[in-house]
Amino acid sequence: QKEVEQNSGPLSVPEGAIASLNCTYSDRVSQSFFWYRQYSGKSPELIMSIYSNGDKEDGRFTAQLNKASQYVSLLIRDSQPSDSATYLCAVYSNSGYALNFGKGTSLLVTP
């Protein structure tokens, strides 16, 4: 079973600060990585995908990938209370059909 590991949190940051969320994965051949946001009782909502080593920026979000360390992270700049949610890291299985999810990190942004 290929694993995707995340700290469960909660991670608490003040409004306006940078939130840093981390994820490690066990399958060295993984090529595609996704960050989803999930509000309580709702479905996963895509934030970003990343496929190459380095940084990828989209608005206040930056995804970082290091395949050698099997590590992917998500930075949220200027955090807002509306960013309070659980952030899910997901990695495709070897077959390329199933997304393997981590348990998610709970983020709380305090006003």
Partner 1 sequence: EPEVTQTPSHQVTQMGQEVILRCVPISNHLYFYWYRQILGQKVEFLVSFYNNEISEKSEIFDDQFSVERPDGSNFTLKIRSTKLEDSAMYFCASSDSGEGASTDTQYFGPGTRLTVL
Question: Which residues bind to partner 1, rule: CB under 8 A?
Answer: 31-32, 34, 36, 42-46, 49, 51, 88, 90, 92-93, 95-104
* Dihedral pair phi/psi, residue 29, rounded to 5°: -90, 0
Contact 80, 61 (CB under 8 A): no
Contact 104, 22 (CB under 8 A): no
Contact 50, 63 (CB under 8 A): yes
Minimum CB distance to partner 1, residue 72 (Å): 15
Minimum CB distance to partner 1, residue 110 (Å): 23
Taking the alpha carbons at both ends of the chain, their separation in whole angstroms is 40
Minimum CB distance to partner 1, residue 44 (Å): 5
Identify which of residues 8 and 110 has a Cβ nearer to partner 1 in the complex.
8
Identify which of residues 17 and 24 has a Cβ nearer to partner 1 in the complex.
24
